[in-house]
Chains A and B, each alone.
Chain A
Amino acid sequence: MELFANLAHGFAVAFSPINLLMCLIGALVGTLVGVLPGIGTIATVAMLLPITFGLPPVGALIMLAGIYYGAQYGGSTTSILVNIPGEATSVVTALDGHQMAKQGRAGPALAIAAIGSFFAGCVATVLIAVLGAPLTKLALAFGPAEYFSLMVLGLIFAVVLAKGSVLKAIAMIVFGLLLSMVGSDIETGASRMAFNIPELADGLGFATVAMGVFGFAEIIRNLDHGAEMDRNLVQQKITGLMPTRKDLVDSTPAILRGTVLGSILGILPGGGAVIASFAAYTLEKKLAKDPSRFGRGAIEGVASPESANNAAAQTSFIPLLTLGIPPNAVMALMVGAMTIHGIVPGPQVMQKQPDLVWGMIASMWIGNLMLIIINLPLVGIWVRLLRVPYRLMFPSIVVFCAIGIYSVNNAPVDVVLAGAFGLVGYWLIKHDFEPAPLLLGMVLGPLMEENLRRALLISRGDWSVFLSRPLSAVLLAIAAGLLVLAVLPALRAKRDEVFVESEG
């Protein structure tokens, strides 16, 4: 009963005109930020933080939260339309989403991403309200050993999501891991492979590499001779804007599974949310009757990761609201916003600031509703954008990406690096290496290395901790199982290939 009283209180707070307005502004800015390539949520929330100085704290936080989950809605747009993932969480959306767009099905892809996100957002909001406090235990149960095992599992996901050669996918993951090692070492502070370039001291930014190997490389490749036909074809055959009945039937279980996975992984501070979308995609591909459809425009490959990343975005508020500990960089900024207003979040924030906590929870549901109302009509506009001739589209994307990358750190070197990675990405495409595993390796690399080292420091070099801690052991067992599943078909396929060759 207390829950309903709290929720009623929350809705009363969230429905005040000023908070509704803040929620709407947050949702709009979030969508915009998500759509613009390069501009990340961290940068935007950081930039908008000072504006919240003059606002009442509840409204300010409602707005910032709106930007955060709003960006999850918008982030899928560029992934689908132009194959540029703006955030780590929308890398996998690009795999099938962009293929759908190439097949003239950008509308259904965008719509299902919005619908999936909305459903996931609603479920996760209820989850925060009902189970927030007990779920906190999960966040505390994950120590360095568990994180390391989770990251190993995440890397196995990367192998599974490859559609070509498993060997080359693993090579790309390791390449990504190596790239992630650039920068200063967490334990000793030593500069690693940074060649005394100050901009490399903190490593390569995700946005920089992602813009390069996905965005710029895709553009350069599209400018190749012979690629024009491909593009014109896309523009001519745009079909319906909304998903068909079959699309909805196909996506429903995917959305449900994505929501569950995303909700659980989102609670884990520091990296849980990142692998949510990868995990969801892998799960769908493994469960599918015909996994070969994935990577070639399967709608489940859009529905599931998009649901997962939005669910994770919502549940990542749990550690903040129940423990007062920010689980990721955006949440750390939210803590900053609270401190600016004189609220220091802690374990008692739920009791001490009921307006803030319950108002925010209620606003998340309202925000998700607003986002789906904003995003569904936008689908038509986005799809129409695809009709813009490519000769005008590509310089625009180049400029948007360049500004976006520059804005992350105000560093021109980052822009040059992204350009260099564009050429690397072009080369990778020419040699049939996939960029998605590379990006995942890059995101998970530091988390894996740091947690491995932390776990070994705490256990004084005893490697058995990864097996003696039950949660960690379970995660490693799943990883081993998945690896076997991933390698087996590859071996089988090789036998088939050999067979075909000898025939021909």
Chain B
Amino acid sequence: MSDTPSEAPVKSILPEWVRGPQDFIGGLAMVAVALFALWASSDLQGMHGFSFGAGTAPRMFAVLLLLLGAAVALMGVLKDGPNIAAYSWRGPLFVSAAIVFFAVGIRPFGLVVSAFAAFLIAALGSHETKWIEAIIVGACLTLGCALLFPYVLGLPMPMFPRFLIQ
């Protein structure tokens, strides 16, 4: 999981004293997560007497993450490390779009429509996609899911668009 694909080196926008931009930015992001968690848990009760409050553990771990993130970022300053890897936009965009469409569509449109549409939207994420093939496979998969989930596994799920049933 951790091997980063070798990409063409991206020109670093960071100052030169950052020797490992990957760790530097990664560490800073963890610091940001920790600060966010500290803010989000700031309204929670702390220790009262000998017992923990709701906010004790979240704040404890947020501070710990803050320190760890800072340490990772520091490593990025002290040690030479890999540059920030290149991101592509097509895969993340269409895969996310497919997921969001499915989530929004499952209640009103049912499994058949949303699964098929999600398949096709996700397929947009790759430039290798051949459309006729994708439509056929998508249709077969949708049919399979429509039989498998509600019938074989007995999961209650809307099948068809709500307005067609009523």
Contact = CB atoms under 8 A, between A and B. Distances in A.
A225 B88 contact: yes
A102 B45 CA distance: 49
Given A181-B57, A398-B122, A432-B2, A412 B33 contact: no
B66 to A, nearest CB: 9
A457 interface: yes
Contacts of B155: 39, 43, 47, 407
B64 interface: yes
A175 B40 CA distance: 14
Interface in B114-166: 115, 118-120, 122-123, 125-126, 128-130, 133-134, 137-138, 141-142, 145, 149, 152-157
Contact of A185 (B54, B61, B65, B68): B54
Contacts, number: 248
B17 interface: no
Interface in A193-250: 193, 195, 216, 218-228, 230
A457 to B, nearest CB: 6
A175 B103 contact: no
Interface string B41-54: 10011000111111
Given A47-B154, A178-B58, A453-B52, A402 B99 contact: yes
B71 A434 contact: no
B106 interface: yes
B123 A193 contact: no
A373 B8 CA distance: 48
B94 to A, nearest CB: 8
Interface in A407-448: 407, 410, 412-413, 415-416, 418-419, 422-423, 426-427, 429-436
A423 B61 CA distance: 23
B104 A391 contact: no
Contacts of A187: 51-52, 54
Interface string B11-29: 0000000000011011101
Interface string A374-409: 000000000000000111101110111011001100
A418 B103 CA distance: 10
A265 interface: no
A391 B134 CA distance: 8
Contact of B154 (A51, A181, A185): A51
Given A168-B72, A195-B40, A395 B128 contact: no
| Residue with the greatest number of chain B CB neighbours at <10 A, chosen from A50, A51, A188 | A188
A171 interface: yes
Contacts of B88: 223-225
B102 A406 contact: yes
A223 B94 CA distance: 10
Interface residues of A, number: 86
Interface string B87-116: 110111001101110111011000100010
A192 B75 contact: no
Contacts of B71: 167, 171
A402 B75 CA distance: 38
Given A171-B65, A223-B95, A406-B102, A456 B44 contact: no
A175 B85 CA distance: 22
Nearest to B80: A501
Given A178-B58, A222-B91, 10 more contacts: A43-B155, A164-B2, A167-B68, A171-B72, A174-B68, A192-B41, A224-B5, A402-B118, A410-B156, A419-B95
Interface of B: 1-2, 4-7, 22-23, 25-27, 29-30, 33-34, 37, 40-41, 44-45, 49-55, 57-58, 61-62, 64-65, 68-69, 71-72, 75, 80, 82, 84-88, 90-92, 95-96, 98-100, 102-104, 106-107, 111, 115, 118-120, 122-123, 125-126, 128-130, 133-134, 137-138, 141-142, 145, 149, 152-157
Sorted nearest first, the 10 A-B pairs with minimum C-beta distance are A461-B50, A223-B91, A419-B99, A431-B26, A185-B54, A415-B103, A395-B122, A190-B54, A171-B68, A412-B103
25 contacts: A48-B153, A48-B154, A171-B30, A171-B65, A181-B61, A185-B54, A187-B54, A220-B91, A220-B125, A221-B91, A224-B86, A226-B5, A228-B128, A394-B122, A395-B98, A395-B120, A396-B119, A400-B145, A406-B102, A406-B106, A415-B106, A416-B100, A423-B92, A431-B85, A460-B50
Interface of A: 29, 32-33, 39, 43-44, 47-48, 50-51, 83, 95, 163-165, 167-168, 170-171, 174-175, 177-178, 181, 185, 187-188, 190, 192-193, 195, 216, 218-228, 230, 389-392, 394-396, 398-400, 402-403, 406-407, 410, 412-413, 415-416, 418-419, 422-423, 426-427, 429-436, 449, 452-453, 456-457, 460-462, 501
